[in-house]
């Protein structure tokens, strides 16, 4: 059974519809990478998939059960979410943030126990931040904060991981660590949906690619089955060259087309 | 470390209460207070100590605890360290309705003032949230700006009401605007208790969710928080705390800003751990503020809000300068 499925999903903010009729399926142990230009509706889609943004049309089901039939806490126990950024107004400690992922498992009164702390410790170790548990989050760099958010999602031991541009602030080494972590998670049966701007990073881990353009699906399928260079070139309005990579999937190199770029659509 | 801080804050409160009991003015000397507390003293001194000073101290404690807890809850809920019942216009909304009620209601129905003040505070809270909301939750800047707008509207309403008020009702209505514990009586302290205790239980129950809200609404929702439910409960609890405080002691600013901020520096960010400590610290601050209000320029009694503003404004400016 699919870990996550969405049927004809549409939604947006205020009067503006940002996503128009997207259907997808993510099986256990599979990674779906969502690509597309700024404002294509990728983050909005992710918010609807986790139920933070109620869709205007369509349904989302988690393990076959409609999201509307699950409490937020049940969803949080099963789905780990790595947002693009979090407003860290208060200098919470790194460990406190990672332990937040245990809250849906503990309920409103039980404090985190030894096992929760162990899971937080292991997650921080995975993202290369062990020993930093007692540091205030506000003292960490953008990339380190992103790794803390990834560790938080991992500490919840979710069956499904939703990541919104998790590599945006990561250096090269930690981008590769991210690929390793996600590959390991897939191996353990975790389904993954990852919004990414780096096509090549996405191709290292994705089993399926969803390319969005102006809120709709431009392409959806296995990377090998799709003419990726042509589709990405058309959607992003660039020319794309495929370069062979003996150590992995071909590398897609973008180049600007001659002529003025189309108007930037507002990022959401 | 935190155990010392726990003892320290309780010691400050005990010290503040004793100072307020013994040093409040010439009506009862230290010896008089001691004799009343040991069961002696004449009738007049007993009245001064037990019917005037003690209720005043207890009212100040309850109001300080209420405002500090409301501030701590709002700051966590809105992930905004500048959230304060006074700055967000919540106390102002409560005060406008309380003033109107005080002026309009017949004497027999003045007992409704706290409930109505709570309604005014709740209305102001809802309005500020509505004005500040965005697709991904309320923005901190818009929230402060919405607070300014609501405060301005509440001030205008209060000034209009005061200019229309009958002279007999004017002093009572003015006390709501100025903030004072002068009218404290044992019955008032008892009447305020439900406005402190019921919201405290609601806030303690929401503690885990409030901890998660401190990293923003999107993040909290992804961690299992039912946003609208928590928002409704916490806003109502904060409105009850502020409405009760305003109805019995008028508008007293900055307690809800200063106390939670200082408390977090000492005790960290676990909201549930913070609430009781913030309540004790808030109580201590208002008792000391009230003592200062009475003793700084005798025989004149300053509004206690003046004292909290003298402490709070520089504090607010310092926080503004530190904010990104």
Q: What is the DSSP string of B4-58?
A: HHHHHHHHHHHHHHHHHHHSS-TTS-HHHHHHHHTT---HHHHIIIIIIIHHHHH
- Rounded to an integer, what distance in angstroms lies between the CA atom of residue B52 and that of residue B111? 20
Token output for A115: 């096992």
Contact assessment for residue B65 and residue B245, using Cβ atoms and an 8 Å cutoff: no
Is this model's pTM higher than 0.90 or not? no
pLDDT per residue of chain B (324 residues) written in tens, 0 to 9: 688 999 999 999 999 999 999 988 777 888 888 888 888 888 888 998 898 999 999 999 999 999 999 999 999 988 888 888 888 889 999 999 999 998 888 877 878 888 899 899 999 988 988 888 776 667 767 888 899 999 999 999 999 999 988 778 888 788 888 888 988 888 889 999 999 999 999 999 999 999 999 888 889 999 999 988 998 899 899 999 999 999 899 999 899 999 999 999 899 888 999 999 999 999 999 999 999 998 898 888 888 988 999 988 888 888 777 765
Residue B14: half-sphere exposure toward Cβ, Cα within 13 Å: 6
The distance of B73 to chain A (nearest Cα, Å) reads: 14
Q: Do B81 and A89 touch (CB under 8 A)?
A: yes
- List the A79-82 sheet strands across, edge first: A79-82, A160-164, A191-195, A31-35, A208-213, A216-221
Contact assessment for residue A79 and residue A71, using Cβ atoms and an 8 Å cutoff: no
Put simply, whether A134 touches B (Cβ < 8 Å) is: no
Report the complex ipTM: 0.90
- Rounded to an integer, what distance in angstroms lies between the CA atom of residue B31 and that of residue B39? 12
pLDDT value of position B99: 93
Put simply, whether B204 touches A (Cβ < 8 Å) is: no
What are the b/e assignments for B251-266, b being 16+ CB within 10 Å?
bbbbbbbbbbbbbbeb
Query: Which residues in chain A have Cβ-Cβ distances shorter than 8 Å to B216?
Result: 83, 86-87
- Rounded to an integer, what distance in angstroms lies between the CA atom of residue A230 and that of residue A253? 12
Smallest CA-to-CA distance from B132 within B140, B121, B123, B122 is with B140
Q: Do A87 and B205 touch (CB under 8 A)?
A: no
Task: Using CB atoms, pick whichever of A89, A103, A268 lies closest to residue B223.
Answer: A103
To probe the interface with A, which of B215, B268, B272, B324 has the most A CB atoms within 10 Å? B215
Residue A83: half-sphere exposure toward Cβ, Cα within 13 Å: 20
Smallest CA-to-CA distance from B152 within B70, B101, B93, B235 is with B93
Smallest CA-to-CA distance from B46 within B56, B54, B55, B36 is with B36
Q: Do A76 and B224 touch (CB under 8 A)?
A: yes
H or E segment to which residue B175 belongs:
helix B170-178
To probe the interface with B, which of A15, A83, A90, A102 has the most B CB atoms within 10 Å? A90
3-state secondary structure of B80: coil
List, in order, residues 6 or more apart from A244 with CB less than 8 Å away.
Answer: A250, A251
- Rounded to an integer, what distance in angstroms lies between the CA atom of residue B195 and that of residue A142? 43
pLDDT value of position B54: 94
pLDDT value of position B137: 65
pLDDT value of position B319: 78
- Rounded to an integer, what distance in angstroms lies between the CA atom of residue B216 and that of residue B225? 11
Contact assessment for residue B287 and residue B64, using Cβ atoms and an 8 Å cutoff: yes
The distance of B124 to chain A (nearest Cα, Å) reads: 23
Cα-trace Rg, chain A: 19
Residues of chain A with pLDDT under 70: 1-2, 258-268
Cα-based distances in Å from A170 to A166, A174, A175, A178, B32 = 8, 6, 6, 9, 70
- Rounded to an integer, what distance in angstroms lies between the CA atom of residue B9 and that of residue B281? 6
Put simply, whether B264 touches A (Cβ < 8 Å) is: yes
Query: Which residues in chain B have Cβ-Cβ distances shorter than 8 Å to A106?
Result: 208
List, in order, residues 6 or more apart from B290 with CB less than 8 Å away.
Answer: B20, B56, B57, B60, B181, B304, B307
């Amino acid at each position: 059974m699919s870990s996550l499925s969405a049927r004809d999903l549409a939604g947006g903010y205020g009067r503006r519809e940002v996503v128009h009729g997207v259907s997808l399926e993510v099986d256990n142990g599979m990674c779906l990478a969502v690509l597309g230009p700024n404002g294509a509706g990728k983050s909005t889609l992710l918010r609807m998939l986790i139920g933070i943004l109620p869709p205007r049309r369509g349904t989302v089901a988690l393990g076959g059960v409609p999201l509307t039939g699950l409490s937020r806490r049940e969803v949080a126990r099963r789905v780990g979410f790595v947002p693009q950024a979090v407003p860290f107004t208060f200098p919470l400690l790194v460990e406190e943030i990672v332990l937040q992922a245990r809250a849906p498992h503990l309920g409103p009164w039980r404090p985190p126990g030894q096992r929760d702390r162990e899971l937080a410790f292991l997650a921080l170790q995975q993202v290369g931040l062990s020993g930093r548990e007692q540091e205030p989050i506000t003292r960490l760099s953008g990339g380190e904060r992103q790794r803390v958010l990834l560790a938080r999602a991992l500490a919840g031991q979710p069956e499904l991981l939703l990541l919104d541009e998790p590599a945006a602030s990561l250096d090269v080494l930690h981008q590769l660590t991210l690929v390793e972590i996600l590959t390991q998670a897939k191996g353990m049966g975790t389904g993954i949906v990852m919004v990414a701007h780096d096509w090549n990073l996405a191709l290292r881990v994705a089993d399926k690619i969803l390319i969005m353009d102006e809120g709709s699906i431009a392409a959806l399928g296995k990377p090998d089955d799709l003419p990726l260079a042509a589709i990405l070139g058309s959607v992003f309005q660039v020319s794309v060259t495929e370069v062979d990579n003996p150590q992995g999937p071909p590398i897609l190199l973008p180049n600007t087309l001659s002529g003025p770029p189309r108007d930037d659509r507002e990022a959401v | 470390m935190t155990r010392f801080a726990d003892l320290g804050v309780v010691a400050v409160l005990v010290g503040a209460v004793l100072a307020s009991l013994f040093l409040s003015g010439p009506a009862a000397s230290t010896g008089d207070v001691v004799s009343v507390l040991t069961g002696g003293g004449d009738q007049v001194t007993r009245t001064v100590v037990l019917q005037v000073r003690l209720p005043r101290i207890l009212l100040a404690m309850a109001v300080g605890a209420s405002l500090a807890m409301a501030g701590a809850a709002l700051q966590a809920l809105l992930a905004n360290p500048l959230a304060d019942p006074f700055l967000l216009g919540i106390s102002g909304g409560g005060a406008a309705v309380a003033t109107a009620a005080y002026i309009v209601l017949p004497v027999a129905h003045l007992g409704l003032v706290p409930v109505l003040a709570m309604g005014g505070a709740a209305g102001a809270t809802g309005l500020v949230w509505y004005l500040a909301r965005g697709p991904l939750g309320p923005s901190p800047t818009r929230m402060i700006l919405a607070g300014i707008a609501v405060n301005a509207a509440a001030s205008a309403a209060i000034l209009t009401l005061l200019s229309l008020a009958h002279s007999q009702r004017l002093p009572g209505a003015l006390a709501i605007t100025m903030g004072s514990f002068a009218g404290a009586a044992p019955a008032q302290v008892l009447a305020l208790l439900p406005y402190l205790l019921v919201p405290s239980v609601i806030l303690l129950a929401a503690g885990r969710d409030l901890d998660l809200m401190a990293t923003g609404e999107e993040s909290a929702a992804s961690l299992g928080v039912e946003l609208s439910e928590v928002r409704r409960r916490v806003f109502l609890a904060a409105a009850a705390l502020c409405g009760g405080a305003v109805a019995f002691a008028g508008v007293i600013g900055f307690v809800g800003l200063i106390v939670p901020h200082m408390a977090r520096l000492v005790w960290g960010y676990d909201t549930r751990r913070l609430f009781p400590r913030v309540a004790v610290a808030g109580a201590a601050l208002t008792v000391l503020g009230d003592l200062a209000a009475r003793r700084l320029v005798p025989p004149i009694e300053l509004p206690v809000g003046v004292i909290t503003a003298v402490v709070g404004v520089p504090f607010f400016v310092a926080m503004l300068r530190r904010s990104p």
